[in-house]
């Protein structure tokens, strides 16, 4: 018997989702900041002939951060890359099994990446390793998001595994994918006119 009641489980799952949403929001802010910093760099370099020494290091480091912080949100939203050619016509039970198997593989890989990543961060911190760039930032600053991102992905994959029997596997239809791609083409054509 499970010691966690359904209402408590639901609260925990909503909390996990809120963490993924929060990290996704932080990622959006990082993208805005990167765009602002790179715009500043372009203006400073080409109009005032005064390039900065920090924009590239900061931008690359933030790109690493928002990439890894966004993984849990991508899984939560069901936006991971999928190969749907066979799953689109597979029976329901096959889709359940494939989705569960994919989530278990994501979980196992995430746990392994978190553990190994922590070893790398710990070594960098202990040895004082620095990036070979202008700012010479400590390596752990760019390595820590790997640990945090995969830890969040592991937690989100457990949440998705718990939800799987209740919400069902993702459904795939060639028509919906065709409609999605046509909407993209139509939106692109509408923006050009």
pLDDT digits (tens, 9 = 90+) for 80-111: 887 777 777 778 888 889 899 999 999 999 99
Output the pTM of the full model. Answer: 0.81
pLDDT digits (tens, 9 = 90+) for 140-158: 999 999 999 999 999 999 9
- What are the residues whose beta carbons fall under 8 Å from the beta carbon of 78, sequence distance 6 or more? 170
Delimit the domains of the chain by residue range: 6-180
Kindly state the DSSP code that residue 138 receives in the 8-state scheme.
B
- Predicted pLDDT at 90: 79
Rg (CA), the chain: 21
Residue 180 CA to its chain's centroid (Å): 22
User: For residue 58, which of 41, 81, 45, 78 has the smallest C-alpha distance?
Assistant: 41
- What are the residues whose beta carbons fall under 8 Å from the beta carbon of 81, sequence distance 6 or more? none
The rounded distance, in Å, linking the Cα atoms of 164 and 169 is 6
Q: Is the pLDDT of residue 43 over 60?
A: yes
């Amino acid at each position: 018997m499970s010691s966690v009641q359904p209402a408590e489980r639901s609260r925990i799952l909503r909390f996990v989702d809120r963490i993924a949403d929060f990290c996704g929001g932080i990622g959006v802010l990082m993208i805005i900041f990167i765009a602002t910093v790179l715009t500043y760099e372009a203006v400073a370099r080409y109009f005032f002939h005064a390039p900065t020494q920090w924009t590239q290091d900061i931008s690359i480091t933030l790109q690493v951060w928002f990439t890894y912080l966004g993984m849990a949100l991508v899984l939560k939203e069901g936006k991971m890359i999928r190969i749907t050619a066979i799953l689109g016509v597979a029976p329901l039970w096959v889709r359940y099994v494939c989705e569960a198997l994919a989530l278990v593989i994501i979980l196992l890989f995430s746990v392994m990446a978190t553990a190994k990543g922590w070893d790398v961060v710990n070594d960098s911190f202990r040895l004082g390793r620095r990036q070979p760039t202008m700012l010479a930032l400590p390596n752990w600053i760019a390595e820590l998001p790997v640990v945090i991102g995969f830890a969040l992905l592991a937690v989100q994959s457990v949440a998705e595994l718990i939800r799987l029997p209740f919400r069902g596997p993702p459904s795939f239809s060639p028509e919906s994918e065709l409609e999605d791609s046509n909407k993209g083409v139509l939106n692109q054509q509408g923006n050009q006119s």
